[in-house]
A and B are shown apart, each in its own frame.
Chain A
């Protein structure tokens, strides 16, 4: 995993407190010059990180033999917006409601008024202009196109969106991984991991929105034969969403927080694909399209699965969006899945399930191989056969339709969603080191201490407060 590039700022950063140790931090802040302190921090971190973050050689969750890769037609958005599940009326209606309300503002409803809608529109603007269907899981949208152009002799193409004839050779695999990750962070990713391409996580087919719009329904779905190369690696990137924006869930300001990162990830994934093309390799930037982002992110060591279904990262909790780049470059060091206790914590926590206005999140104590929710017999939208918590995406989408925005209450309520602050990192580490029964207590304390309440309109005032949180002092 990589660190956010703003970490070099004045704020004492994410892991430093424990690196220093509780009392040592206080003394260290006074007594050591910055360079010496950094060295001590690194040493202690090296010694302690392994105790809390375990790595796995294989995908960390059990998968049944009957697991089938997911079809692009069975994603909630394609099922609804592109009518692949027209038999599911609720899903179709939720899509209509959602689209309709997206363009309306309600002055009497704080968080859904013109100001909030404008904030939301601005957040999504870049995504909506340059890759409008990426978030709907449709491949090849706008700059996320599958083109692998080879420049002709003498041709002048200043945007560099073509594959260089000369293939750059890295000295070793680590050097290659470091360079790819550095590029991704330079372009705007907060976390980066590299994993093998895994057909289990790729969509089995692809929806052709253009063909549907042109009335060519027989061409509405196509297969991997159109994919322009054999992918070998998938680079997965996570983008931190604004803490104060997500805390306002379920409002349009929360939606703006999500949209801002959809815009960032489109830009970053595209830039990273150009980097790889200019190194002489094939590359395709992806948003929610082409494959399931969450299992790919787990495989790439970015975080763990969770009760709410989202990825939980060590650094930002569930408050991230994910993008991918498929490439045929494979001379690289691959990352391993990590475990820091999030799935274990989920067994006792259930705060997201309590907070979910749509009652879409499971209250089951243990994860299961198949959905257990009330729509389980027609859960075409769940990728089934993996041991996990099954979220009822239909109910979730219904709630989005009611709000006209993408809710996000689950993320806002999660104890792993905290601003970058030493005492939260300390609690995270203690949580990871503690056995299950203590997690109940930690969850209660989190609530008592006043974190993670959703639907609190004061959070909107905090979002707009020009002083903001003063921990970074600026």
Chain B
């Protein structure tokens, strides 16, 4: 076991996969000589050279399209979005070409590529650098969307994403890069399509992902003291959703609270609620509750920023309310 910071766990994943498969390469802004703005590609430029750790000009749409072309012709690109928000400029290449081209081409081409980088609401970075983009992308056919949340799953999931033959949007969170965890010394891969049961329980199912997992974990400490026993599930895969795990939990608890950092309107939670209604309506003892961040551009002011995203106290209150209304 080795204590590893999350950004280093990601770095190890990339390094191991580049060592294992020489068609894997990294491209993006400042990924090479500079080592990545969160140091996820530190020193890889020296190890693998300038073509395999390619510093690109600031041309998001074009270098994303270039990665699509490289993937179509047999390479396995990993794009680092310096900030995932910048990939708004690459929306066309991500949606039309990465996402849809396999289908549109009738299976002529596959597009094994990973688009990864920091997202989420951070330390007063202001609206543009504090985006919650996962919901923008969830409707695009052909994309897989994954959010990591711990050093362990960050490493194992990124390795799986690199090996996957489909385009994977891989969300990291700016505030989680310095999380520490003991990682196994042996190689491991974490499947992309499995949700993680963070804490088994019986009273209520809490579905969450990315940084909100940690807010939920904090809330659970308070809830435990009050004798409550929630089940916490980290979704991991935001698309497709792991309804095996979600469904099994609902059949046990019959109550669901979704805790997400993305916006409420058209969010990941909105999609989950609709799907739960489709699949498990009869299992529910209460309407699904969703705690999302506010439908506003993330404000700069610290207090307003805090108010924008869901806090542990709100999660605690929501769980208590739901359980108190027990039928």
Question: Do these two chains really belong together in a complex?
Answer: no
Residues of A within 8 A of B (CB): none
Residues of B within 8 A of A (CB): none
